[in-house]
Structure 1
Amino acid sequence: MVFDHFPSNLPEASIMDQRDMDAKKTYPPQTIAKIFSLAFTDPTTKISAPALTLCSEYIRIFCKEAIWRAAASKREYENKDENTQISLGAEDLERH
């Protein structure tokens, strides 16, 4: 597998809300590249650094939404309001 033009420091997204800017954490593109490489059947398959950055951000958003949905579902199930702290476990995420 070959990754073209893979810089060590990938640019951050420039447009995001303040909460995301304060707690911006994403999956390292190198990790995403390794996961993708396990699925590629052709050893000459290439993926660009911008594509990896985009995939990392997409997966971050996907996971964040899954957590939000699981939290909302658990709050509804336990009849708790938005201000009540809850704890999520794997079983809460597996329901969605």
Structure 2
Amino acid sequence: MRGRWGLVPADCKKGRSDAKGLMIVSPTTITFYESVGQISDINSSSDDKLDAQFAFSGEGMNWNRDVTFQLRDGGETLLRTDADADESASSRFTYKRCSN
């Protein structure tokens, strides 16, 4: 799951200052356009799925969120599901692996 992921192909173009759909996954953090999430607890994990709690910061705010990542298509697609704090709703995002 490590690497650069884009919601649209333009997000993967290096040097773009407007790549708002770019997500960078490292061993302990996920980085977005204006926020960073640090793993605070791992609920479950496998080779193709991670369910974890993240402590986020960005734009002068801090918040916690459960995030699930699921690899698909031989590791070329990453589905991200964010659970709201009250877990009554969730949001899904589909990323494609950046090749550059």
TM-score, normalised relative to structure 1: 0.22
More strand by share: 2
- Point out the structure with max Rg over C-alpha: 1
More helix by share: 1
Q: Which has the higher contact order (CA 8 A, sep 6+)?
A: 1
